[in-house]
Amino acid sequence: MNKLQFKGSWNEMKGKLKQKYAQLTDDDLKYAEGQDEELVGRLQKKLGKSADEVRRILEQ
C-alpha cells in the first residue's frame, strides 16, 4: 500500500479524528513513521470500516 499522506500535522489529524469519532483513544491513534498499516488496521477494527474507507478518512 501507499504511504499515508496527511494534510497538516499528525497531531492536528488526531484532534480532528477524536472530535469526529469519540470512541477513539490515544492508543488507537498511536502512529509512528512507517507504521501506516498498523494504524489503518487498528482504526478499521475500531470504526468498523474497510481499509480504503479508513485511508480516505485519514487523507481528507
Q: What is the pLDDT at residue 59?
A: 86
How far is the C-alpha of 38 from the C-alpha of 3, rounded, in Å?
A: 12
Task: List the chain domain ranges.
Answer: 10-58
Q: What is the pLDDT at residue 1?
A: 53
Residue with C-alpha cell 494534510? 7
pTM for this structure? 0.84
Average pLDDT per run of 10 along the chain, which is 60 residues long? 77 93 95 91 97 92
54: exposed, middle or buried (Cβ count in 10 Å: 0-12, 13-18, 19+): buried
Gyration radius from the chain CA atoms: 10
